[in-house]
C-alpha cells in the first residue's frame, strides 16, 4: 500500500541503515540509488554494508518477503510512496557546498508527489537548504504549496559508522522539524515508529539544520584544541597525555584525543557549510575557521615530526609504512582521510610508502595498500600509526621490529600505544 511505503533516496552509509530500520519498523521500503551495480548487488543478496550489523541481512529477508525492493528509478519510487526521504550527500567544491546530487534527487521526487505526501531531507546541509533547494523547487515545478498540498521536514541523520542501525533505533532521539505544524506532526509520528528514544521537535527547519552542524563542529573544535595543546606540550617537553588524563578527571572537562587530522564526509565539511552560511549574512566564525585550519595542517605536522625523528636519531628514511587508511578506527571508510595527505607529503620527499589497513580494500591514490600487516611493515625504516584500529593496540616495538626486520622509528599519532617503550607518541615526544 502506498500509504505505508517509504522511498529512501541514496542507499549509502546513511540511507542503507535507515532503510533497514524502516523495514524493521514495519514500513514497505523502496530503496533508490543511481549506482546500478549497487542496486544489482542488493537484489542479488550481495552485502553492500558488511561492517554495519544486520543491515544487509534485513535487505535480503525483506526482498524475499516482498516488503522491500531496490531500484535506480527515482521517479517510479516517488510515485509509489507516500514518504520520500533524501539521504544523498552534499559535498564541497572549493569549500563551497555542491548541491548537484540533492537537486537530482528533488527532480526525481517532484513528479511523484501527491496530496499529503511527506518529503524529508536527512543530509547534512547549510541552514536554509531545505527551504531553498527542496520546498522552493517542488512548489515552483508543481504549482502547489507546502503545508497545504504536501509536507516537508528536515530530520538530520545521527549515526556512528559501525553501529548505525542501533543508533537509529536505540541510541539517539531523532531530531525533527517541519515547514509548519502539520509537517512537524507528521514527521514526528513517522520517526516515532523507529526511534525508541523518541523525537526532539525543533521550532524551525533552520534550527534543525544548524543543530546537526553544531554537533560536528563541536568535535572539530575540540580536536583542534587537543592538537594545539599536544604540540605545545611537546615544546615544553611535557607529556600531553598525562595532562589530558588529569584534566578530564574534572567532570566539566572533556578534551578529545589529538591525531593526524580529521577525516570522513562529515566533520571536515560541516565547518565550511556553516562558514558559507555565516558569510551570506555578513557574519564570521573565527573559532570555527581557526580550528578547521588547525586540523587540516596536522598531516603536515606529522610528517615534519616524523622526519625530525630520523634527523635526531641520525637514521635515513627510504621506506615508510603507514598503519591505517580509514579516517577512523575499525571502519572501512577512507573518505577525506588525513592519511592521504601524509602519503602525498612523504612521496614528495622521495620516500617509498606502503600502507596497511585491515578494512579498506582499495585506495583512491597511487600507493601500495595491503591488508597484510607483515607485508606492509617488511623492510620499513619508519612506521606511522595514523588510524586507531583495534588491531594495532596489541602492537609493541618488539613486534613491529620483528615484522620490519630492523629497528624502525615508530610514530604513534593516535596515542593507542602510549606508555609502551621505544614508541614516539604525538604529544609525548620527549
Residue 364, φ and ψ in degrees, nearest 5: -90, 10
Beta bridge partners of 383: 321, 410
Q: What is the DSSP string of 20-68?
A: HHHHHTT-EEEEE-S-HHHHHHHHTT--S-TTSTTHHHHHHHHHHHTSE
Cα–Cα dist 46/57, whole Å:
10
Cα–Cα dist 381/352, whole Å:
10
Grid cell digits, residue 411: 610514530
Minimal CA–CA distance to 20: which of 11, 122, 191?
11
C-alpha distances in Å from residue 180, one per residue of 3, 42, 142, 187, 201: 21, 36, 19, 11, 12
Active site residue 361: no
Q: Which of 212, 253, 315, 347 is catalytic?
A: 212
Active site residue 212: yes
Q: Which of 266, 318, 361, 378 is catalytic?
A: 266
Cα–Cα dist 237/220, whole Å:
25
Minimal CA–CA distance to 80: which of 159, 3, 146?
3
CB 119 within 8 A of CB 134: yes
Grid cell digits, residue 248: 578530564
Which helix (DSSP H) or strand (DSSP E) does residue 288 occupy? helix 286-296
Minimal CA–CA distance to 30: which of 55, 57, 9?
9
Give the catalytic positions in this structure: 212, 266
Amino acid at each position: 500500500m502506498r500509504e505505508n511505503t517509504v522511498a529512501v533516496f541514496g542507499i549509502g552509509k546513511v540511507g542503507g541503515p535507515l532503510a533497514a530500520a524502516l523495514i524493521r519498523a514495519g514500513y514497505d521500503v523502496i530503496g533508490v540509488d543511481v549506482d546500478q551495480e549497487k542496486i544489482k548487488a542488493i537484489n542479488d543478496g550481495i552485502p553492500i554494508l558488511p561492517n554495519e550489523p544486520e543491515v544487509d541481512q534485513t535487505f535480503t529477508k525483506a526482498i524475499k518477503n516482498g516488503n522491500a525492493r531496490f531500484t535506480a528509478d527515482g521517479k517510479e519510487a516517488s510515485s509509489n510512496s507516500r514518504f520520500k526521504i533524501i539521504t544523498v550527500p552534499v559535498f564541497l567544491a572549493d569549500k563551497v557546498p555542491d548541491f548537484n546530487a540533492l537537486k537530482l534527487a528533488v527532480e526525481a521526487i517532484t513528479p511523484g508527489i501527491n496530496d499529503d505526501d511527506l518529503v524529508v531531507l536527512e543530509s547534512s546541509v547549510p541552514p536554509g537548504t531545505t527551504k531553498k533547494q527542496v520546498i522552493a523547487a517542488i512548489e515552483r515545478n508543481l504549482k502547489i504549496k507546502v503545508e497545504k498540498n504536501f509536507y516537508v521536514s528536515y530530520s538530520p541523520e545521527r549515526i556512528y559508522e559501525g553501529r548505525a542501525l542501533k543508533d537509529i533505533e536505540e541510541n539517539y532521539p531523532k531530531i525533527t522539524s517541519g515547514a509548519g505544524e502539520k509537517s512537524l506532526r507528521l514527521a514526528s509520528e513517522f520517526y516515532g515508529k523507529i526511534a525508541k528514544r523518541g523525537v526532539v521537535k525543533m521550532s524551525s527547519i533552520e534550527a534543525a539544520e544548524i543543530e546537526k552542524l553544531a554537533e560536528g563542529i563541536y568535535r572539530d573544535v575540540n580536536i583542534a584544541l587537543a592538537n594545539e595543546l599536544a604540540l605545545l606540550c611537546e615544546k615544553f617537553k611535557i607529556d600531553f597525555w598525562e595532562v589530558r588524563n588529569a584534566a578530564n578527571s574534572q567532570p566539566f572537562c572533556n578534551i578529545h584525543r589529538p591525531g593526524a587530522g580529521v577525516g570522513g564526509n562529515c566533520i571536515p565539511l560541516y565547518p565550511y557549510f556553516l562558514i558559507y552560511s555565516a558569510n551570506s549574512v555578513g557574519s564570521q566564525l573565527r573559532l570555527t575557521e581557526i580550528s578547521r585550519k588547525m586540523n587540516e595542517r596536522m598531516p603536515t605536522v606529522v610528517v615534519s615530526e616524523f622526519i625530525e625523528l630520523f634527523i635526531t636519531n641520525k637514521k635515513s628514511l627510504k621506506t615508510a609504512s603507514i598503519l591505517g587508511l580509514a579516517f577512523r578506527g575499525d571502519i572501512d571508510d577512507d573518505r577525506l582521510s588525513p592519511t592521504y595527505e601524509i602519503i602525498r607529503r612523504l612521496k614528495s620527499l622521495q620516500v617509498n610508502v606502503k600502507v596497511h589497513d585491515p578494512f579498506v580494500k582499495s585506495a583512491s591514490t597511487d600507493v601500495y595498500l595491503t591488508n597484510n600487516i607483515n607485508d606492509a611493515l617488511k623492510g620499513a625504516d619508519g612506521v606511522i600509526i595514523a588510524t586507531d584500529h583495534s588491531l594495532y593496540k596489541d602492537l609493541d616495538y618488539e613486534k613491529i621490529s620483528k615484522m620490519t626486520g630492523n629497528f624502525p622509528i615508530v610514530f604513534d599519532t593516535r596515542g593507542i600505544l602510549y606508555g609502551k617503550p621505544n614508541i614516539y607518541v604525538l604529544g609525548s615526544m620527549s
